[in-house]
Amino acid sequence: MFGYAGKIAKINLSTGTVGDYTISDKDREMFLGGKTLAAKIIYDSFKSKVEAFSEENIIVITTSPLASSTSPCSSRFNVSTISPLTGLLVSSNCGGSFGLHLKRAGYDGLVICGKSKEKVYVEITTEDISIRNATHLWGKNTSEVQDLLGGKNIGKFVIGIGGENIVRYAAVISEERAAGRGGVGAVFGFKNLKGIIASGKESTETFDKQNFKNHNLNWIKSLKKHILTGQQLPKLGTASLVSMMNYRNQFATKNYSRGSYHDFERINGETLRQDHLIKNKGCVTCPIQCGRVVKAYGKEVKGPELETLGLLGSNLLNNDMQSIINLNHLCDEYGIDTISFGSTVGFAMELNEKGLWKNGLTFGDCSRLEELVKKVATREGIGNELAEGTKRIAAKYGGRDFAMNVKGLEIAAYEPRAAQGMGLGYATSNRGGCHLNGGYLVVLEGLGLNVSGRIARGKAAYTIFFQDLMEAVSAGGTCLFTTYSLLPQVLINNPNKSLVRFINRVIPYYGWLVGFLHNNAWLMSFNLKGVLPHPASLRLVTGLKVTIGSFLKTGERGYNLERIINIRQGLKSSDDTLPKRLTSELQRADDPDSKVKLEVMIQDYYKIRGWDEQGVPTKRRLKKLGLEGYSL
């Protein structure tokens, strides 16, 4: 099939055997790749609840049809498993080069099952797959391991000490890019798998080479012309959002007790650029180049993203940019998710402040944080408890109302009391408190447009649209930043223009139309390359009849299948919620709308999704998505 390598390998660590995992062309057409195809594989692999730390749990790594092509921003790959934080399905996306090299080795994906008795890593080439002894790699940080595993033209995907010690929010690293969320690295560590390397020179066939080439050139031009992907992100990176979020009370501060930080200018994108930036850097095939290169401990390293600036900065009342840079680097070296680490430390600080857990950690005192990263990675002293995450700490010490997680996964740096749609997204995200899987509606509520974040009206429909869009984009293998082209530049360039203010006011009232289109995707059986280039790219690569409607339907199909897996894992509608701090405490005492009105939105959300009142996909909805054979 065009665009695919045509093989998925199944690696059994318990037996040391390697075989093929069969995927039909029909499955490829329905699920494309990435997290959506991974959900299909996980659904088929077990029919009842599976524990994260068990031999039955599997790790699924998937590329996409666009991986290894010249499509812009298409080097993303996905890793999915059952999360040790949530007990639910987790998918984590990564921009390192491993996915590209895996596809060049001749594989669309890997299914890793069992548990090795010895410490091992996996080597994949075009000719062979080998399980090798990793004793000499154990105890080493991610950069050391990658250096030891070979030079150029080899994709590497490894854990650090955090994964070895089964920190529940351990990450897996490719180059300096992280599959950071949900504790995938801990599952690697549990299975005694230090990492995977891949190399090869295989290429995949493209259905329509010339038109694909022309399409990509036009897409790259549009990305470079757009104010967000051509100016804001290249100039300041994701850190460009710090000032906007802070202005709109959307910047998590002091364990989300408020939405703005008085010292934000010391940790914003402008300060990062002026005082620390060495150069820009991007993922493979990326024209945006939003990555920052800075210095930590005397060497050039990856700079912090927005989430890290929030969770390790304002959330802890840490106004020292160099401290945040150092912490970010240490987390990457040890293989630890910066979001969950920062949120867990912030929660511990508030527990200490309230006298619930006397641990010596205080807001604004960040002198111990670098030492604390190591303690978490090695599970030494207080680090052993912090390595468990906010949900389990709250179960022991209390403070559940301000333990800032959803379903066990710590939420991102966006404070949802000033972004209602983001609050709904956190609550309904399949992997827990995730801004991206949750739909990233905050892009309408202040980061791109300026639709009021205090209004709940229409947000359910828009949240669903963006969730399905993000799911589909991930299935195709493209960076989510490429969706910024959906935002008309006139609305961003002239936020105070009377027409723009009017449009922003009326957008919430058109949620019904978005919901109608969601339920009638066949009405969008066309492509608008200048607005949403992704379906056309997939069509030109694979030869499949991908339209805007079928593309979004693929996203919806994946989102529903993930929901089915989670229900099988024990998810209930009562889990689609937020910490009480966000739904009961006003962010501003003089503003009754400054809390998340979740109850108002959640039933609308279920209804538009085609789920019943308990949040279970109905048989009618599953049949509409071609999932009629997929039961709970």
pLDDT, tens digit (0-9, with 9 covering 90-100), for 576-625 = 999 999 999 999 888 888 899 999 899 999 999 999 999 999 999 999 99
Tell me the average pLDDT across 383-391.
99
Q: What is the pLDDT of residue 303?
A: 97
Q: Is 339 exposed, middle or buried (0-12, 13-18, 19+ CB in 10 A)?
A: buried
Domain 8-198 is in which class?
alpha beta
Q: Is 316 exposed, middle or buried (0-12, 13-18, 19+ CB in 10 A)?
A: buried
Q: Of the ranges 13-17, 55-59, 143-147, 438-442, which one carries the lowest mean pLDDT score?
A: 438-442
Q: What is the pLDDT of residue 308?
A: 98
Beta strands at 155-158 and 193-198: parallel, antiparallel or unpaired:
antiparallel
Residue 487, pLDDT > 80, answer no
Do the Cβ atoms of 427 and 416 come closer than 8 Å?
no
Q: What is the pLDDT of residue 297?
A: 94
Q: What is the pLDDT of residue 263?
A: 98
Q: Is 499 exposed, middle or buried (0-12, 13-18, 19+ CB in 10 A)?
A: exposed
Q: What is the pLDDT of residue 304?
A: 98
| Packed helices 420-428 and 459-476: angle between N→C axes, nearest 10 degrees | 60
Tell me the average pLDDT across 23-47.
97
Residue 154, pLDDT > 60, answer yes
Residue 88, pLDDT > 70, answer yes
Please state the domain extents for the chain. Answer: 8-198, 238-398, 416-624
DSSP per-residue string spanning 401-463? GG--EETTEEP-SB-GGG-HHHHHHHHH-TTSS-TTTTT-GGGTTTTSS---TT--TTHHHHH
Q: What is the pLDDT of residue 333?
A: 98
Q: What is the pLDDT of residue 632?
A: 81
Phi and psi for 572 in degrees, rounded to 5?
Answer: -125, 165
Query: Which fold, 416-624?
Result: 1.10.599
Confidence of residue 452 (pLDDT cuts 50, 70, 90): low
Do the Cβ atoms of 412 and 429 come closer than 8 Å?
no
Question: Which residues fall within 8 angstroms of residue 208, CB to CB, at 6 or more apart?
Answer: 540, 543
Give tens-digit pLDDT for 203-223.
999 999 999 999 999 999 999
The CATH code of the domain at 238-398 is 1.10.569.10
Query: How many angstroms separate the CA atoms of 63 and 74, rounded?
Result: 10
Residue 15, pLDDT > 60, answer yes
Tell me the average pLDDT across 277-304.
95
Confidence of residue 159 (pLDDT cuts 50, 70, 90): very high
Quick one: what percent of the chain has pLDDT higher than 90? 84
Residue 445, pLDDT > 90, answer no
Beta strands at 279-281 and 291-296: parallel, antiparallel or unpaired:
antiparallel
Confidence of residue 491 (pLDDT cuts 50, 70, 90): low
Structure tokens at 376: 């978490």
Residue 418, pLDDT > 70, answer yes
Query: Which of 106-110, 434-438, 584-588 tops mean pLDDT?
Result: 106-110
Q: Is 381 left (phi over 0), alpha (psi -120 to 50) or beta?
A: left
Query: How many angstroms separate the CA atoms of 606 and 262, rounded?
Result: 38
Confidence of residue 196 (pLDDT cuts 50, 70, 90): very high
In whole numbers, what is the pLDDT of the chain averaged over residues?
94
